[in-house]
Amino acid sequence: MNHSKNDGFTSIIEHSPMEFPHLILNLYACDETAINNEEYISSLIIDLSSLINMNIISGPHILSYGDPSSKDHGVTGFAIIAESHISVHTFTLCRCAYFDIFSCKGFDIEKAILFISARLKSKRFSKQLIHRRTGAELQNP
């Protein structure tokens, strides 16, 4: 798999048929109104899937949970995409959001991170990129 380094981001340029990208994105100091709004989170998932060329086949499914004064209060959303899934969990009191994008085709990691971060007005984030393998390399030829 070829990677491009740019300002600390890693973007998938070519996708190996033996590897599937799995982005785990933690966003901090997010806009409280954005992360607490079901319609906004739904729109974010739809726009994100379009931006990274993924096809939603179910969802987005969105629900608020917890008492507004509880540390667990937030919004959860997910969409099943033809390529796998996109999910998000937000926590209003700590102003955090946690995204998970898993796909069996390559996508622009940097574009996804910048888009989500801008939409949630996140002040900082951390990411983990996992390259899941198909297991085909373990089979006998």
pLDDT at 6: 43
pLDDT at 17: 53
Identify the residue whose tokens are 């890693």.
10
The stretch 110-131 carries a mean pLDDT of 94
Instruction: Specify whether the CB–CB gap between 121 and 11 falls below 8 A.
Output: no
**Catalytic choice (16, 42, 43, 84):** 84
pTM of the model: 0.80
Residue 16, CA distances (Å) to 41, 136, 137 in order: 31, 12, 12
- Residue 18 pLDDT level (bands cut at 50, 70, 90): low
DSSP string covering 73-141 = -EEEEEEEETTEEEEEEEETTTTEEEEEEEESS---HHHHHHHHHHHTT-SEEEEEEEEEE-SGGGS--
**Catalytic choice (15, 73, 85, 89):** 89
Q: With a cut of 90, say whether residue 134 has pLDDT above it.
A: no
Is 84 an active-site residue? Answer: yes
CATH code reported for the domain at 18-136 = 3.60.90.10
Average model confidence (pLDDT) for the chain?
A: 84
Distance CA 97, CA 94 (A): 9
Higher pLDDT, 20 or 68: 20
